[in-house]
Amino acid sequence: MLFPAAPVVSPVPQAEAPRDCPLCPRLVRFREECRAEHPAWWNSPVPAFGDPDAWLAVVGMAPGKQGANRTGRPFTGDFAGELLYATLLKFGLATGTYRADPSDDIRLDGALILNAVKCLPPQNKPEPAEIATCRSYFEAALAQLPKVRVLVALGAIAHAAAARALGLRPSQAKFGHGSEAVAPDGRILLGTYHSSRYNQNTGRLTAPMFEDVFAQAMTHRDG
């Protein structure tokens, strides 16, 4: 399966990074290595995916190597995406069928997915400077999404990045599964353990636990 072209139309096109964004040297080097190794993969900053009129933003940390970095669509093609898309479908936040392929017909309805860091980091670990640098894109995306009232951050790193972008100090937004914080502008930040293979295989996160956080988000849908 080849994914050489732009995989999705971003709901926030004015907030997307150029395909060769040069701002994080370590990630640029890794990107070039991946392009040499897997020339048919996306291997570029991953655009947001979903509904431009979303009220809910799912926030991931960074693209997975075999997932978004390969396919070009957030959480698409890796283990973590299976539970995420199943949950979005279950709560009526998506329609269609998820087939782990950007050419499938799944569409988000009232939701979108953003990553705190848009490029694949080595060992799946972005450095603090990279998170800080990419925050400009994250904040630009949020600025173009005035209808987003609730953010669900997957994992502590995404949560910290989202909290910062929302103007929350760490003491005001402590991460936990089911944690909830209110930003100065009234937006609500929820935390969930990441839907990673490790978390699911170790039982740290189960599907019902994940769904509980989305049920919590749904209670805030209408303000």
172 binds ligand SF4 (CB under 6 A): no
Site string for ligand SF4, 113-132 (x = CB under 6 A): ----xxx----------x--
User: By CB under 6 A, what part of segment 16-75 binds ligand SF4?
Assistant: 17, 21, 23-24, 27-28, 45
Residue 95: strand pairing partners = 107
Q: Least Å distance between CB 79 and ligand SF4?
A: 22
133 binds ligand SF4 (CB under 6 A): yes
CA angle 91, 95, 97 (to 5 degrees): 110
Q: Least Å distance between CB 133 and ligand SF4?
A: 4
From candidates 55, 79, 85, 137, binder to ligand SF4 by CB under 6 A: 137
Nearer to ligand SF4, 27 or 141 (CB): 27
Q: Least Å distance between CB 32 and ligand SF4?
A: 12
Q: Least Å distance between CB 160 and ligand SF4?
A: 16
Q: Least Å distance between CB 17 and ligand SF4?
A: 4
Stretch that binds ligand SF4, among 89-97, 133-141, 197-205, 214-222 (CB under 6 A): 133-141
Residues that bind ligand SF4 (CB under 6 A): 17, 21, 23-24, 27-28, 45, 117-119, 130, 133-134, 137
